[in-house]
Amino acid sequence: MEKQFAKNPTAYHNYSIEDTIEAGIVLSGTEIKSIRNGKVNLKDSYVNIKNGEVFIYGMHISPYTFGNIYNKDPLRTRKLLLHKREIDKLYGIIQQKKVSLVPISLYVKGNKIKVQIGIGKGKKLYDKREDLAKKDADMKIKRALKQYNSFS
């Protein structure tokens, strides 16, 4: 059973996600308690590879209310846990295709907290507009079908 704690609302809007990968994350005890209370935000976060290690930047975890001196900086850089071959594969993809690593969601799997990372290419403004227009058209069609079915 997987419980999702946070989702990045802008990931699919700003990037066309080609592939996803699951990674563990290094956290302190008070950060885990805060995440389990839902006090986490992935909105402006991103993932980068530095010196053969993968880090997540800009992920905000609010301080745990009962954590006092054990609380960490809410915006600190956190290390992601991946196998060496997975890191090498990601690094190669980033260098060849000029793509970005974007955190998509934060969830629990078993008793471990995991991050889903998307490998995505940045969208241009006209792509974003096209997606919004398509979504709007789909909503209008659904609304019309619902109204049509209510008359039948």
Quick one: pLDDT band at residue 135, thresholds 50, 70, 90? confident
How would you classify residue 31: left for phi > 0, otherwise alpha for psi between -120 and 50, otherwise beta?
alpha
What pLDDT does 146 receive?
Answer: 84
CATH architecture of the domain with residue range 2-123: Beta Barrel (2.40)
pLDDT at 1 over 60: no
| pLDDT digits 0-9 by tens, 19-70 | 889 999 988 788 888 888 888 888 888 898 998 899 999 888 888 777 677 7
| pLDDT digits 0-9 by tens, 84-131 | 999 988 888 888 888 888 999 898 888 888 999 988 888 777 777 888
What pLDDT does 152 receive?
Answer: 62
Q: How far apart are CA 58 and CA 5, in angstroms?
A: 16
Q: How far apart are CA 84 and CA 89, in angstroms?
A: 9
Domain positions in the chain: 2-123
pLDDT at 139 over 80: yes
How would you classify residue 138: left for phi > 0, otherwise alpha for psi between -120 and 50, otherwise beta?
alpha
What pLDDT does 37 receive?
Answer: 82
Model's pTM, two decimal places?
A: 0.75
pLDDT at 83 over 90: yes
> Which residue in 22, 67, 24, 58 sits closest to 40, CA to CA?
58
